[in-house]
Structure 1
Amino acid sequence: MLVSSLPQLPTRFDAGRLPISWPALRDRLRMLEPRDSEVTRQVGLYFLWDRQPLDRTDDEVIDRYQELMRHTTNHLVRHLVRSRTEMRLIISCVRCRAAGAEPPKWIDRIADRAGTLGHMRKHWLDPNFNLGVHHRWVEAFRKQLDAGDMREAQRVVFNERWSDWSRIAERQTFSFEAIIAYLVRWEIIDRWTSQNAKAGKVRFNKLIEETLGEYANPIQ
C-alpha cells in the first residue's frame, strides 16, 4: 500500500530535513485511485493558495474559506481549511488588539457566539481573549509577538498545527486519510525548513505547478 511505502516523518516539524522530496512523494501519489488523487489535488491547491502573500485582506480570506467549504466534501480537507483559516483570523485579531484597535468588522461574517472568534469578540479587552486551555498557543504567540521575535512566534503557530495533525495521524493507519495527514505534516516541515521565505515560496510553487499543471492557475 502507498501508506506503508512512505518514509516515517520526524517526531517534530523542526527536527531536521524531510525524509522524502516532493518529486519522490509526487511519484508515490500517482499510485492513488482517481477519486483519491482528486482529493490530494485539492490539498495541493489549498497549500498553494495558503502560501500566497499575507497582504491579502481578511475579507478575502473569509471569501476563499467559504468557497472552499462549499466545494469540499472530504472531512479531513474540511478540517484543514477550517483550522488554518481560524488560526489565520485569530492571529489577525491578536495583531489588531496589540495595535489598540477595536474588533474588526469582518468578525461578524464568520463568528458565532459559541465559536472561538465570537468568544474573542466578547472578551476583546482580555490580553489572551479568555481562551484558557482551549487555545494555549494564543498566549504563547502573543508573548513572542510582543517581544518582537517573529521567528519564535511562527514556531508557536507551526507547533500547534503539527500537534493537531500528529493527533489525527495517530488515529489513522492504512486508510486514505493517513495519506492526507502525511501530506499536511510534510508541508509543515517543508514550510519551516524553507529558511529563505522568498526562495522557499518560489520553490514550492514550482513543485506544485509541476504536479497540478493547468489546475494551479486559478490560485494565482
Structure 2
Amino acid sequence: MPSRFDAGRVPISWPTLRDRLRMLELPDAKVTRQIGRFFLWARQSLDQTDAQVIERYHELMRHTPNSLVRHLIHSRTESRLLISAVRRHRMGLGPPDWSLRAGTDDPLVSHLKKNWSEPNFSLGARYRWMEAFVKHYDQGDMRMAQWVTFNERWRDWTRIAERYNFTFEAVIVYLVRWEIVDRWTSQNAEVGKARFANLIKETLGEYAESR
C-alpha cells in the first residue's frame, strides 16, 4: 500500500484483490461483506437523510462484535455527519432532525445541537481536519475539501494498519484503505461507486445480498 492515497493509482488491481479475498473463511467473509456493504452505502449521496445515517449506524453497532470494524464504521459515520452539518450550516439551516431527536447518549449530536452557532461547532480542537475542510468548502473547492476528509481517514487507518501483520484485521484495513485510493483515483464518482459495488458482490457472491 502506498504511503499516500493520492499517489495516482490503486496499488493492486481489483482482479488480484478479489482472488485474495475469495480465500477467506466464511466467518471472515461475512465480516468483510459487512464493512464492505457499509462503506458502499456510506458513499451514496449526502442528500440521503441524516436520520437514515444514524439509524444504519446504530443498527450496525448493535450487530457488529468486531472491535476494529466498529471503529472503522464509527469514524466513517462521524466524518459523514460532520460534513452534513457543515453543509446545512452554510445553507443557513438549523441543526438537522437527527440532532434535535438525539438524546444525551450520543455525545456528538448533542454537542452539535448545543454549539450550532459556534465556529466549527466548537469541535476544531477535537477534529483538527475541520478547519481545513471548512476553508476549502467555503472557497468552493470541493475536491480539496474531499481530499482533507480522505487524508484524515487515511492517516488514522494507516496507524491502525501498522499494528496488524498477517491477520484478518490486516485484510480489513487493507480493504478500506484500498477503497480510499480507488475512490480518489476514480475520475467519475458514479463509476467509482459502481466499481466498489461490483467488487463486493463479485468477491462474496450470495453473501453480498444477505444481511
Residue 130 of structure 2 aligns with which residue? 138
Structure 2 distance, partners of 1:205, 1:26, is 12
Q: How does 1:53-202 map to 2 (within 5 A)?
A: 53-110=45-102, 112=104, 115-202=107-194
| Equivalent residue in structure 2 for 1:45, among 33, 37, 41 | 37
Q: Distance in 2 between matches of 1:175 and 1:110?
A: 37
Q: Letter of the 2:57 partner, please give it.
A: Y
Residue of structure 2 in register with 1:3 after alignment: none
Give the deviation of 1:214 after TM superposition: 3.4
Any gaps of 5 or more consecutive residues in structure 1? 1-8
Asked whether the equivalents of residues 113 and 119 of structure 1 are also in contact (C-alpha less than 8 Å), the reply is no
Residues 109/65 of structure 1: CA separation in 2 closer, same or farther (3 Å cut): farther
CA distance in 2, matches of 1:114, 1:43: 22
Counterpart residue identity of residue 67, structure 2: H
Does 2:198 match 1:206?
yes
Q: 1:48 to 1:215 in 2, by over 3 A?
A: farther
2:15 is aligned with 1:23? yes
Return the offset for 1:33.
Answer: 2.6
**Cα 1:206–1:175, aligned 2, differ >3 Å: closer, same or farther?**
closer
Report deviation, 1:218: 6.0
Q: TM-score, normalised by structure 2?
A: 0.91
Q: How many residues align?
A: 211
In 2, Cα distance between the equivalents of 1:27 and 1:120?
A: 43
RMSD value over aligned CA atoms? 2.0
| CA spacing shift, 1:119–1:35, aligned 2, 3 Å | same
Cα distance, 1:114 vs structure 2: 7.6
Q: Structure 1, residues 193-214: CA drift from partner, whole Å, max 9, x if none?
A: 1111122222222222222333
The answer to which of 11-20 and 167-176 deviates more is: 167-176
Contact kept? 1:72, 1:78, Cα under 8 Å: yes
Q: Output the TM-score relative to the length of structure 1.
A: 0.87
Q: Which runs of 5+ in 2 are unaligned?
A: none
Partners of 1:53 and 1:47 lie apart in 2 by 12
